[in-house]
Every structure is written in structure tokens, then in C-alpha cells.
């Protein structure tokens, strides 16, 4: 059975059943209801059917209809949208090469055109919310993006009918169009060390002709989006194509071109490909096993059948489900316990009294180490083993940021270099007691306050000041040859009067940011893919330290209480004596 028969009509975000909507003068109208059926690969979605311009349409109606036709993803070539353009504009318009713009666009009616007028201009007003680049990356627009940033849309009258003579270069979509036309998906790619997967969240346009599962795997084959591509690899052999995808014998059968068969002699690389497929396809059928074939035949060397549970060691979050937190209580590092039992000090130097350390970070399994700042300069490390002692892994002549572990047992810190009143930083990584400098072009002329490596080992969240105030950047750690930190992109730009106090990774795509402005603290939750971060916790007491794991947040407040966010309010399981909180990594 063909791919298209199985995959036509798939789900858009949040849809449980599908509706066909037909724009009428630019306003969508529901006209019928559809059902995706029981096939797990054939799920419902909302269809938007574009309509051609009416013969007597006004200039504003032409522009409104053109915008509505842009959102008609059933018409993937935008052939209907082109009917709103003059022949010359039609020949030039190629929105596939431009970023899609998400905006609350309004087409402001001006005066009614003179019946004898041959030209007219319709202004565009409203705020740009975000862009989606050709790779599917959602890039939120800065909060101070100006309204009215677009030129008016020019129209001319041809044979008595208005047509657009100068179209916007990009597709202009409203937020409702975005939710209908795109689905947020998570692609997975192995890190350069081949030890784990790294998530790549993108917006995937819905294509009813190909179907969502087919589109998802084909997008995976294209490779990671930039700048993540510098820190991960795509293990599929070049030229690999998806030939078919279907349900057969209660399994999802994915048939690939002959190139994939090359991996029969490369078992480690094949395992990474299977992990990529299993984790990525969770968005479609999380419980169904996957069978891989090549050119319609069993995989060379034997059948290949697997599911996500077979690849737990590739988990980007690294942590076990519901991991215990750690905190410094009266100067001693302790582990959370259940059932109101007394907290248990960790083994080794960090769990002993009177050790005088602060801002600890932990690498739990398999390394079992704690790093911290101490009164003596440097980054100090102690094993989580009875009788261990502090050892200095990174010296540094200037002030060092609090340590941060990665999943490979390396500890990171950034040193202030140069005069105190000048901008300058040097990134260090500590490996088994040896300090190694890391090239970081985007940070060498900035002051760095915090450097937190994500649990995937590839991304890093950075509090930096490039001269305009404190901001949060997301960078990529490239582990090839001499390591480097590159691909810096601003997640939170500077804001006058605001201080960024602390940051923490919650999961592979979510960063917590503790800020203060006018003596008011805010704990903000940011999605690095943009647009879909969870609700922001309130802050009712001043917080000194934050940490997070998937589904949970811990904080230490000014009164020494351990605070836990349960999704609606803060609880205080420990009332005093707590100075720092931490989960392993992050």
C-alpha cells in the first residue's frame, strides 16, 4: 500500500478531529468536518483551502485574501496565492527562500479608491512576533520590534480587477495560521562523541500530500539546523532517502534507499541511526516498534526491529525519572530523602562539615564527583567517595564562574581576564585534573557571569555582558580537535536596570532565568526553540540559588529555606540552613 494512502490527513497541533476551513474575504470559515481514522499514522488535522479572488474584490479584500491563501498549506506551491498577483509579481515571488513571518498583521483600510484609480496601496500594521527560517527554526522577535515595519502592499488594476504588483518577500502568517500550518517536532541527532542524542526542535509545515510521518522522517534525513549542526552529526549515509512508511503487523515499517544498507558493516553507527529514528518517531507512535527495510527487502544481515525503550543510554536529559535533588545545608552537601527522613550527607569531602565551599555542581553517574568554588582561587573537585579530598582542576588567575559539569565528566568554568573595568573572558574545561583552554570567539570580548552546560553536553547557557548589559546567550560546544564554543545566539537581550542572577537547565530545551529589576525578582522559563515555554513560577521570597530537572524546580531563598515548585505554588520542605541547590549536571 502506498505511503500517501496511509499518510494523507495528519494532525496539526492540539487537533483531535479536523475541519476544512475556507477563507471568505480573508476570514476562515468552517464548512465540514473530517476524521483521520484509526490508523496511528493517519491522524486528523485542520485543512485550510485557499480561494481565488472575487471579480469585484476591493484592494483590501485582495490583500486579505492573499494573506489567507498564504496560510493554505493544502496548496503547497501557493498557486492560489499567486492568482492575487500581477504576472510580473507572480514571476518574482518566491517565499520559500525567505523566512516566514508570524505577525498580528492587519491590513488597514485607507480611503475608498476612486473608481477610476489604477493604483492603490494597502498599509500593513501590527507587530512581528517571530520568524521561521527555511530549516524550521522558530526565532522569536525582540520585544521592542517596531510596529508598521513593512512597506504598504501596492496594487494595480488589470482588466478592471485589482491585483498585487509588489508582494511581501515572505509568507505572512497570523498565530492561528501557525498553529494550523505547522507542527512543533523534536528531531534527534547523536553528539560528536556518539554517546547521546541532542534534540533539535523545529516547526514542520504540514503537507497533506506527503503526510506528517513521511515529512518528519524526511526532515530528519536533511540533518540538524544551524548552529546545532556544528555540535552533532547526522549518522545516515549521504543520499539516504525514505521510500515508504506504513503500518504492518502492528509495527511501523520504514523502507529506505540502498545507501542505508551500508550500515550493515557499521554496528555502532547503525545503533545511532536506530536511536535517532526511535526517539524522533515518538511524536507519531510512541508505543509501536519500528522495522527498517532497504529497497523493500529485509535489512542486510538480518531483520532490524526496535523501539525507543531500547536506547535509554541515548536520553538527552541523562537523569533518571524523578531524580533526587541536592542542597548545601549548614555548609554540608546533602541529598534529598523521602518520607521526611533526615537528609543524607554525600560521601567524601563535600559531605563533611567545615569544608568552606560554595556554588557546587555535581556529576553523578558514572563519574561521581562534585566541583565547587572555595576560598582558595580555582575550581576544586572531590570524588563522591569516602575519604576523598578537594583537588584543584582549574586554577585561573582571574575570577572564575561557578563550575558546570557535562555528561562526559568534564567540568567547565569561565575566567575573567584583563583589567577589571574591561571586557574579556577565557573558557576552561577541566579533564581529570588538567585545565584546558577552549576557544570561544563570541565570549572573548565579553564578561561572563555564568556558564551552564546542558545535560545533552552540546548546548551551553551563558550570562554575559558585551557592553550593553547582562544577557543570556545559547552557545554550541564543538568537540572536534581543539574544542570551541560557537554558534552564540541571544536568548534574552539586555534590558536597562535588569540584573540576571542565575540560570539553570530544566530539560534539553528549557532554561530557567532568575532576574531582578527595581528590587523585584522574576523567575522566567524560556524555551530555546521559542514560543512554547511553560508557565512562569511566581517569586514570593527572594531567591539566592535555583536548579531544575524535568518537571521540577528547586530554589534556596534568603531565609535559608529549601523551596520546591509543585506547578502552582512553592513548598518549603526545609525551613532554614540551605544556601545552594543543585541537580546533577544542568
Q: Read off the CATH number of the domain in which 338 is found.
A: 2.120.10.30
Residues forming a β-bridge with 404: 412
Question: Would residue 319 count as lying in a domain?
Answer: no
Distances (CA, A) of 536 to 124, 493, 564: 33, 18, 14
Q: What is the mean pLDDT of the chain?
A: 88
Question: Would residue 274 count as lying in a domain?
Answer: yes
Cell of 499: 540584573
Q: Is the pLDDT of residue 500 over 90?
A: yes
Rounded average pLDDT over 421-439: 96
- CA–CA dist 561, 329 (Å, integer): 10
- CA–CA dist 101, 181 (Å, integer): 13
* CB-facing half-sphere around the CA of 487: CA atoms within 13 A: 18
Share of the chain above pLDDT 90, in %: 66
Whether residue 339 is found in the same domain as residue 301 = no
- Of the pLDDT bands very low, low, confident and very high (cuts 50, 70, 90), residue 86 is very high
Question: Would residue 226 count as lying in a domain?
Answer: yes
Whether residue 166 is found in the same domain as residue 285 = no
Task: Specify the DSSP element, H or E, that contains 275.
Answer: helix 267-280
Distances (CA, A) of 415 to 371, 373, 534, 582: 16, 12, 33, 22
- Of the pLDDT bands very low, low, confident and very high (cuts 50, 70, 90), residue 38 is low
Whether residue 420 is found in the same domain as residue 464 = yes
- Of the pLDDT bands very low, low, confident and very high (cuts 50, 70, 90), residue 43 is low
Which residue has better confidence, 350 or 396?
Answer: 350
Whether residue 129 is found in the same domain as residue 196 = no
Q: Is the pLDDT of residue 497 over 60?
A: yes
pLDDT at 145: 61
pLDDT at 13: 24
Of the candidates 132, 297, 154, 272, the residue with the CA atom closest to the CA atom of residue 203: 132
Q: What letter does residue 176 receive in the DSSP assignment?
A: H
Which residue has better confidence, 19 or 14?
Answer: 19
pLDDT at 179: 85
**Number of other residues whose CB lies within 10 A of the CB of residue 477:** 27
Whether residue 110 is found in the same domain as residue 139 = yes
Q: Is the pLDDT of residue 70 over 50?
A: yes
Q: Is the pLDDT of residue 32 over 60?
A: no
Question: Would residue 321 count as lying in a domain?
Answer: no
Q: What is the pTM of this model?
A: 0.88
Q: Is the pLDDT of residue 24 over 60?
A: no
The total of structural domains in the chain comes to 3
Q: What letter does residue 351 receive in the DSSP assignment?
A: G
- Of the pLDDT bands very low, low, confident and very high (cuts 50, 70, 90), residue 42 is low
Of the candidates 382, 220, 214, 223, the residue with the CA atom closest to the CA atom of residue 284: 214
Whether residue 36 is found in the same domain as residue 97 = yes
State whether residue 235 is helix, strand or coil. coil
Residues forming a β-bridge with 173: 102
Whether residue 304 is found in the same domain as residue 335 = no
Instruction: Report strand pairing: 344-345 vs 332-335.
Output: antiparallel
Q: Is the pLDDT of residue 150 over 90?
A: no
- In which domain, by residue range, is 564 found? 326-582
Q: Is the pLDDT of residue 367 over 70?
A: yes
The alpha helices in 399-525, defined as continuous H runs, are none
Question: Would residue 544 count as lying in a domain?
Answer: yes
- Render pLDDT for 444-487 as a digit per residue (tens, 0 to 9): 999 999 999 999 999 999 999 999 999 999 999 999 888 999 99
- CA–CA dist 417, 420 (Å, integer): 8
Task: Specify the DSSP element, H or E, that contains 419.
Answer: none
Of the candidates 190, 224, 188, 230, the residue with the CA atom closest to the CA atom of residue 480: 230
Rounded average pLDDT over 230-243: 96
Whether residue 46 is found in the same domain as residue 138 = yes
Of the candidates 38, 43, 39, 42, the residue with the CA atom closest to the CA atom of residue 17: 43
Residue with cell 541532542: 198
Rounded average pLDDT over 497-505: 96
Radius of gyration of the chain (CA): 27
Last residue within a domain, chosen from 289, 314, 339: 314
Whether residue 359 is found in the same domain as residue 288 = no
- CA–CA dist 28, 65 (Å, integer): 10
Whether residue 347 is found in the same domain as residue 284 = no
Residue with cell 577552549: 438
- Of the pLDDT bands very low, low, confident and very high (cuts 50, 70, 90), residue 531 is low
Contacting residues for 367 by C-beta, under 8 A, at least 6 apart: 405, 409
Which residue has better confidence, 77 or 112?
Answer: 77
Whether residue 308 is found in the same domain as residue 331 = no
Rounded average pLDDT over 371-398: 95
Cell of 86: 500581477
- Render pLDDT for 305-341 as a digit per residue (tens, 0 to 9): 999 999 988 998 888 888 889 999 999 999 998 877 8
Distances (CA, A) of 168 to 282, 521, 573: 37, 41, 56
**Number of other residues whose CB lies within 10 A of the CB of residue 128:** 19
Of the candidates 84, 83, 12, the residue with the CA atom closest to the CA atom of residue 48: 12
Q: Is the pLDDT of residue 164 over 90?
A: yes
The alpha helices in 150-193, defined as continuous H runs, are 175-181
pLDDT at 45: 63
Amino acid at each position: 500500500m502506498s505511503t500517501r494512502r496511509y499518510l494523507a490527513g495528519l494532525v496539526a497541533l492540539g487537533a483531535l478531529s479536523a475541519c476544512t476551513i475556507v477563507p471568505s474575504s480573508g476570514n476562515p470559515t468552517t464548512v465540514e468536518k473530517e476524521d483521520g481514522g484509526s490508523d496511528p499514522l493517519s491522524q486528523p488535522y485542520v485543512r485550510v483551502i485557499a480561494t481565488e479572488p472575487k471579480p469585484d474584490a476591493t484592494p483590501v479584500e485582495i490583500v486579505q485574501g492573499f494573506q489567507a491563501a498564504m496560510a493554505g498549506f493544502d496548496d503547497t506551491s501557493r498557486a492560489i496565492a499567486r492568482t492575487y498577483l500581477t504576472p510580473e509579481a507572480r514571476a518574482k515571488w518566491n517565499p520559500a527562500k525567505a523566512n516566514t513571518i508570524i505577525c498580528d498583521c492587519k491590513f488597514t483600510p485607507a480611503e475608498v479608491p476612486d473608481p477610476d484609480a489604477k493604483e492603490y496601496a494597502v498599509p500593513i500594521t501590527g507587530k512581528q512576533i517571530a520568524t521561521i527560517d527555511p530549516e524550521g527554526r522558530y526565532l522569536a522577535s525582540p520585544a521592542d520590534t517596531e510596529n508598521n515595519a513593512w512597506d504598504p502592499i501596492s496594487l494595480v488594476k488589470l482588466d478592471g480587477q485589482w491585483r498585487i504588483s509588489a508582494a511581501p518577500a515572505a509568507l505572512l502568517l497570523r498565530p492561528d495560521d501557525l498553529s494550523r500550518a505547522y507542527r512543533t517536532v523534536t528531531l534527534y541527532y547523536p553528539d560528536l562523541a556518539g554517546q547521546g542524542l541532542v534534540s533539535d526542535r523545529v516547526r514542520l509545515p504540514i503537507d497533506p500530500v506527503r503526510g506528517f510521518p513521511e515529512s518528519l522522517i524526511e526532515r530528519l534525513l536533511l540533518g540538524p539546523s544551524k548552529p546545532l549542526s556544528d555540535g552533532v552529526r547526522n549518522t545516515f549515509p549521504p543520499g539516504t532517502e525514505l521510500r515508504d512508511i506504513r503500518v504492518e503487523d502492528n509495527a511501523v515499517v520504514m523502507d529506505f534507499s540502498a545507501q542505508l544498507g551500508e550500515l550493515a558493516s557499521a554496528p555502532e553507527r547503525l545503533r545511532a541511526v536506530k536511536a535517532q529514528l526511535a526517539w524522533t518517531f515518538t511524536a507519531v507512535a510512541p508505543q509501536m516498534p519500528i522495522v527498517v527495510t532497504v529497497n523493500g527487502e529485509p535489512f542486510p544481515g538480518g531483520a532490524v526491529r526496535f523501539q525507543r525503550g531500547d536506547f535509554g543510554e541515548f536520553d538527552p536529559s541523562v537523569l533518571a525519572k524523578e531524580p533526587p535533588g541536592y542542597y548545601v545545608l549548614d555548609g554540608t552537601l546533602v541529598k534529598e530523602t523521602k518520607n521526611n527522613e533526615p537528609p543524607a550527607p554525600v560521601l567524601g569531602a563535600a559531605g563533611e562539615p567545615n569544608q568552606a565551599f560554595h556554588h557546587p555542581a555535581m556529576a553523578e553517574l558514572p563519574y561521581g564527583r562534585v566541583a565547587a568554588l572555595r576560598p582558595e582561587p580555582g575550581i576544586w573537585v572531590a570524588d563522591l567517595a569516602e575519604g576523598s579530598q578537594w583537588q584543584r582542576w582549574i586554577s585561573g588567575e582571574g575570577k572564575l564562574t561557578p563550575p558546570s559539569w557535562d555528561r562526559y565528566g568534564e567540568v567547565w568554568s569561565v575566567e575573567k581576564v584583563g583589567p577589571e573595568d574591561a571586557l574579556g573572558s577565557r573558557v576552561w574545561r577541566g579533564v581529570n585534573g588538567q585545565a584546558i583552554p577552549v576557544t570561544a570567539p563570541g565570549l572573548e570580548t565579553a564578561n561572563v557571569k555564568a556558564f551552564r552546560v546542558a545535560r545533552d553536553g552540546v548546548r551551553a547557557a551563558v550570562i554575559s555582558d558585551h557592553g550593553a548589559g547582562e544577557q543570556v546567550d545559547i552557545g554550541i560546544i564543538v568537540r572536534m580537535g581543539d574544542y570551541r564554543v560557537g554558534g552564540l545566539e541571544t536568548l534574552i537581550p539586555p534590558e536597562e536596570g535588569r540584573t540576571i542572577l542565575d540560570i539553570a537547565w530544566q530539560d534539553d530545551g528549557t532554561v530557567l532565568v532568575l532576574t531582578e529589576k527595581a528590587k523585584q525578582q522574576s523567575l522566567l522559563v524560556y524555551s530555546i526553540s521559542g514560543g512554547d515555554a511553560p508557565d512562569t513560577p511566581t517569586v514570593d521570597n527572594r531567591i539566592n540559588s535555583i536548579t531544575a530537572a524535568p518537571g521540577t524546580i528547586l530554589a534556596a531563598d534568603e531565609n535559608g529555606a529549601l523551596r520546591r515548585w509543585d506547578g502552582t505554588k512553592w513548598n518549603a520542605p526545609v525551613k532554614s540552613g540551605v544556601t545552594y541547590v543543585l541537580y546533577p549536571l544542568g
